[in-house]
A and B are shown apart, each in its own frame.
Chain A
Amino acid sequence: MRPIPCGIAIVSIAAMTSLAAQQQPTSAVPTPASPHRATLDRYCATCHNERLRTGGLSLDNIDVARVADSGEIWEKVIRKLRTGAMPPAGMPRPEQASLDALALYLETALDRAAAARPNPGRPSLRRLTRTEYGNAIRDLLAVEVQSESLLPADDSRFGFDNIGSMLTLSPLLAERYLAAARQVRRLTLGDPALRPTLELYDVSKDLIQEDRVGEELPFGSRGGIAVRHHFPADGEYFFTVRLQRNSREYIRGMQEPHDLDVRLDGARIGRFTIGGERRGRSSFVFSSAAMGDVAQEQYERTADATLEVRHAVAAGTHLISAAFVKIGSMPEGPLQPRMTMYDFAQYKGGEPGVARLAIGGPYNVTGVADTPSRRKVFVCRPSGRADEERCARNILSTLARRAYRRPATDEDVQTLLAFYQTGRRDGGFDAGIGLALERLLAGPEFLFRIERDPANVAPGAAYRISDVELASRLSFFLWSSIPDDELLEVAERGRLKDPAVLERQVRRMLADARASSLVTSFAAQWLNLRSLRTVTPDLERFPYFDENLREAFHTETELFFESILREDRSVLDLLRADYTFVNERLARHYGISGIYGSHFRRVRLPDSNRGGLLGHGSILTVTSHATRTSPVVRGKWVLDNILGAPPPPPLPNVPALSERDTQGKVLSMRAQMEQHRANPVCASCHRLMDPLGFALENFDGVGRWRTIDAGAPIDASGALPDGTAFRGLGGLRQVLLQKQREQFVSTVTDRLLTYALGRGVEHYDAPVIRSIMKEAAPGDYKMSSLILGVARSMPFQMRRLGES
């Protein structure tokens, strides 16, 4: 490889500061730092000097003996050394041993300095995120709310939406807090005076409904939808089902009769037979401008208007489903290939699908049943009028303690009691509790995670947060929710700071169902899974992509991450696991045989082509363009999320990729990229990203295995800047596990710490990350050991007082 001139070496050590306050260069007397000074002078300062300041960095005058004075710079140097990114390929490079020695020397010095003067940082005062609000309501009141419909979304930074400095408060949010409090009160206590409402549950039009489509739908069902709906009162509700239309507004599948069941908590409350009626000549099955007879047209467009059932339902959350009955036998005639989505849009034959379930009501309200949420709130029932205030006090102080996540004060209870009294006057005991509940839910004591500074700490000094505050940090980290009674009790007794107690609580919490928020909230954001919902693969290029596959991708990665968490596996298994989770749809996509049915199960992968996260359809799809794969995006994704070394952004106005060569021959994606990299400016970054992406070229834009692209066999080989060659995902995986293992674990730790603290990880956190990793290494980096490491870490347990 040609040496790279300093000017275009990797430019991510940007915006260096504080170089002005430099110490004198070390004297000529040999010190422990001397050999390192020599290494720096010989191999680094040729580019990174005061004159050139390549990448904004100068190392010729910096004092190697006083490492702690320039922690921010040295941490970046350590990173470059540990990832092998510096010195760059093509430049003189010393023995690996002397680079390792330099890195170790710097790390040791910085770790020692950090231990002497801990800096936990100061996360901003945080309000609950939308997710946390929903979970807190669930755990406080035993009611499932759709927090997405109650509150606006939160802005994210550093990859997560729970970053303190981003959790701002707009007038809209304030308004929504009040409305949400009212709504939650109604859902919790029920409301016989409620006017009827209509809720719609839509099924994606791209969901193929030829088989059972969800775990909550009955076996033997086909297509449809199942929803958990909250019914505010005992009364009558109506359920209507609208069926899928094709692109010309014909209801699909009206040629033959089909049975549709509506079920309430699994029990059938309505059966309809729809389709198969003849009222005249029908139009073509692939609809065109040609119409059939008027009566038949009318029928085929409106037949589902009759799909309505009225039924009495008790207040509370119930499972409602609407799905067709699957016809057991195989269709006659030869098996047809699967229809493309494009054709499907024109097709009005085949089987009907559910487009929407609407639930309206309540009508003829008879009262409010004893629901789990009412039981949770009414911890007592007044024995008579005279007993009401005692009981109200009891109810409200119990609620306040849980909601405010600390012992309830007299003032807390008095405030709520005043609302109780107003409500009691106007509408009875329940109404009183309801109004107090609204006040509680709209108040800052519930909505903000308050950490109070102790009185006797100097500005800027670090101090240990209280046990009760630690309990909240733990529960929001592990559950995205409020502490439960046990955790709060332990904290109130001052026991949580005891490391053994802390570990016991963390392990208990990880075993709890609520820890699945580490999957749906932490992992989903870390791995960009949320983008999966918005990707739109071009259906002409990827005709086999549909809604079922999108959902299956999501489920696979969630189940996989959950297995690592629940079985307390090594985080390295995220990359190297030889198993995954599939249902029939996904197995077909992956070419795994012998899997039938819609439910997901764990399978051992037959070969090393698809093990670990990098073989997941979810990740391969969110890192592709709509019409093709993108080795660059995939490579960047790996650098970013697996290795924690995001490449610098592309330069503006990069020259075009040419899809054909000079002779006009169509080029494969790889060949196009090779041309692009011939430009040295582009090459400086792409030689890091592209090889990682090339290794995944055997997977197309929606993660299906392929061996040919643009008529040429796939070449899935690549090499790291240091020359290490690999081929395919199997090869890449080996390299990541052997050469970048620490880097990967450090990235996972960094992500966990960011998420747990709700702030960006700073250079002064690097010693903390190193110590968490050191502790976790002997157990092969078990998931729990990293999580425990974070929970025990200094920044998680401490806080710095703001400068006044």
Chain B
Amino acid sequence: MIITGKAIPRRAVLRGVGATVALPFLDGMLPAFASQAESIARLSVVFAPNGVNVNKWTPATEGAGFQLSPTLEPLAPFRDRVVVLSGLDNSIGDPRPGEGETAPHERAGGVFLTSVHPQREGRVGISVDQIAARELGRRTQLASLELGLHSNDIAGQCEKSWSCAYIHTLSWRTPTTPLPVEYRPRAVFERLFGDNDSTDPAVRRARLQKDRSILDSVAEAAARLMRAVGPSDRARLGEYLEGMRDVERRIQRAEEQSSRELPAVDRPAGIPASFDEHATLMFDLQVLAFQTDLTRVITFMLGPEQSNRTYPEIGVPEVHHGLSHHQGDPEKLAKLAQIDTYHTKIFRYYLERLQATRDGDASLLDHLTILFGRSMSDSNEHLLQNLPILVAGGSNGRLKGGRHLRYPRGTPIANLYLTLLEDVGVPLDSFGDSTGRLEGL
């Protein structure tokens, strides 16, 4: 491999404190096939909860000369790398006759990346990131990463008879398998680079072999059990089997790449106390994951739907979800816009880091397709129409930025997903309730 020490600085410094360690076995500091680095397609989803103050989000003018809205103003330095999309709907998530108006946030979370009508027990569709991961994940150790800033321990904050998974995650590997979101930087780091095992190659190889034999044995046991239990229980054991096979695939890939140079990276320790520090650290980790080509698909939640986070650091001590039910109150709307703008600033940090990171002959930003959006527009009414969405990054030259596009009412956001999937090399005939590809993007 030729790009030694160039694809990534020898010592990639992460924010936060912690011991500096050499990366142990599950590393992948160099892209597996670095010669094709510039054509690697990657999908990144960044989500923020509770809709937006629509009036401050939507740019007043359209087309290439559009004027950034107050909420989007922090993105001025990246104006030409961003396409703002208006008028996209996810109406398939709206309650059907007889379903009642229950659980609007659960619905919004469930439908956001799937464009399939969510059932209360936790049955929806495969999410767009996971469709992408099926293809893009074939070459990487991890098919995808699901990250957030929230712990799942908020039982009781979702509607009782609804699956809380709709609040906690946006990613669905199958219509019934939600993927848990990790919020602890250290756990993300260890998932990427392994835990504390020895760095001695011989020890590592022996370790891999042992892991393999354990995997073989537990898979065998699971297969045996599947014959002993009823058909409805087989599916759950099947998930287990599938998960173990995934780990096996990963080990195989790690073995193929085991002779790589091992740079030193700061292992993050605790969970940063402030929103800002936590979010930026998680963005740092995402940049690192893309840079090392350990994964090509990441979904990141700045908060769960119905988030009750307060933002005293920007002068908003009220809870976010409460404010989002602004009921037209100008004061609440102003504070909501403050939060929205704060989220834009945090997102800008991500773009800055991506732009500053070399990837082959360009920057990571040039090679990424990034979706930044909310699952609702006006959370006061739980609207799934006219969603606040933007697409950023170079998409390997496929995305022309600096535009605001407005689509006719009723255009499904699934059309955008279909288009993005094609951009990252996963062309499908349809996705969710799509009616075709999005024109003009």
Contacts and interface: CB of A to CB of B under 8 A. Distances in A.
* B is bound to A: yes
Interface of A: 11, 14-15, 56, 122, 124-125, 127, 149, 152-161, 165-175, 178-179, 181-183, 193-198, 200, 202, 205, 356, 360, 415, 418-419, 422-423, 426, 435, 438-439, 442-445, 447-448, 450, 452-453, 525, 528, 530-531, 533-536, 538-541, 625-627, 640, 646, 648-649, 651-657, 760, 801-802, 804
Contacts of B121: 157, 165
Contacts, number: 249
Given A155-B152, A442-B218, A174 B247 contact: yes
Contacts of A170: 173, 177-180, 239, 243
Q: Which 5 A-B pairs have the closest CB atoms?
A: A174-B243, A153-B152, A656-B327, A125-B233, A152-B180
A165 to B, nearest CB: 6
Interface in B213-249: 213-215, 217-218, 221-222, 225, 228-233, 236-237, 239-240, 242-244, 246-247
A309 to B, nearest CB: 18
B37 to A, nearest CB: 26
Given A152-B152, A625-B322, A166 B163 contact: yes
B246 A174 contact: yes
B236 A169 contact: yes
B40 interface: no
B399 to A, nearest CB: 30
Contacts of B196: 194-195, 197
A149 B187 contact: yes
B101 A649 contact: yes
B102 to A, nearest CB: 5
Given A169-B240, A415-B217, A627-B318, A198 B122 contact: no
A166 B309 CA distance: 25
Interface residues of B, number: 89
Contacts of A423: 210
Contacts of B247: 171, 174-175, 178
Contacts of A195: 196, 198
A540 B231 CA distance: 57
Contacts of B229: 125, 450, 452-453
Contacts of B221: 415, 443-445
A512 B51 CA distance: 48
B156 A652 contact: no
A538 B156 CA distance: 22
A173 B191 CA distance: 11
Contact of A443 (B218, B312, B381): B218
Given A155-B168, A649-B104, 19 more contacts: A15-B98, A149-B187, A153-B180, A154-B152, A159-B156, A161-B155, A171-B179, A171-B242, A175-B246, A175-B250, A195-B196, A418-B217, A422-B210, A448-B240, A627-B318, A654-B327, A656-B328, A657-B327, A802-B231
Given A155-B163, A158-B160, A195-B198, A453 B239 contact: no
B308 interface: yes
Nearest to B24: A195
Contacts of B103: 649
Residue of A167, A530, A535 most packed against chain B (CB within 10 A): A530
A652 B19 contact: no
A798 B137 CA distance: 44
A19 B334 CA distance: 50
Nearest to A649: B102
B161 interface: yes
B319 interface: yes
Contacts of B246: 171, 174-175
Interface in B161-198: 161-165, 168, 173, 176-182, 184, 187, 190-191, 195-196, 198
Contacts of B425: none
Contacts of A205: 273
A801 B173 CA distance: 29
Given A179-B195, A447-B240, A649-B103, A200 B269 contact: yes
A165 B122 contact: yes
Given A198-B19, A415-B217, A657-B327, A178 B211 contact: yes
A653 B191 contact: no
A627 B222 CA distance: 52
Contacts of A447: 240
A196 B273 CA distance: 25
Contact of A625 (B163, B319, B382): B319
Nearest to A17: B98
Contact of B178 (A168, A444, A648): A168
Nearest to B238: A169
B329 interface: yes
A427 to B, nearest CB: 10
Give the interface centre of B100, B155, B229, B246 by most chain A CB atoms within 10 Å: B155
A157 B198 CA distance: 41
A172 B244 contact: no
A412 to B, nearest CB: 9
Given A171-B143, A415-B221, A155 B161 contact: no
A448 B222 CA distance: 10
A444 B237 contact: yes
B153 A533 contact: yes
B317 interface: yes
Contacts of A15: 98-100
Given A169-B239, A172-B179, A530 B154 contact: yes
B157 interface: yes
B141 to A, nearest CB: 10
B280 interface: no
A166 B243 contact: no
Interface string B292-323: 00000000000000001110100001110010
